[in-house]
Amino acid sequence: MFRITPNAAEQIRKAAKQSGTEGMALRLAVREKADGAFDYKMGFDEAVDGDLRIQSEGIEVVMDPKFQEKLDECVLDFVELEPGNWQFIFLNPADPHYVPPKEH
């Protein structure tokens, strides 16, 4: 099942507050690029009939059911890739280009 880390959930709540979209769900989408890698999209949106709905870390996540298989074991995190460079990342074993993070 797709899940969100506590760090990502905190940043999602901050972004919703800053953009005035509190109470809206986080919509996810994924498409396969020409090289087979996954391209992820996310943004705040209203749920619609037929959406798959997931709760993770207090965040409502919605997606078209066609994305469920590609996002099933995916984890959304918010990490500091380089000093001062914080980004959302998708850790997804279903992505053929996925490389698990190295343990420090």
Domain ranges of the chain: 3-91
Strand order in the sheet with 38-45: 38-45, 25-32, 59-63, 52-56
- Please state the separation of Cα 41 from the chain's center in Å: 8
- Tell me the C-alpha distance between 67 and 78, whole Å: 21
Please tell me the predicted confidence (pLDDT) of residue 99: 82
Q: What is the DSSP code string of 13-28? A: HHHHHHHT-TT-EEEE
pTM comes to 0.91
Please tell me the predicted confidence (pLDDT) of residue 97: 87
* Cβ atoms within 10 Å, residue 62: 17
Per-residue pLDDT tens digits of the chain, which is 104 residues long: 899 999 999 999 999 999 999 999 999 999 999 998 899 999 999 999 999 999 999 999 999 999 999 999 999 999 998 899 999 999 999 998 888 877 65
Please tell me the predicted confidence (pLDDT) of residue 24: 96
Looking at domain 3-91, its CATH architecture is Sandwich (2.60)
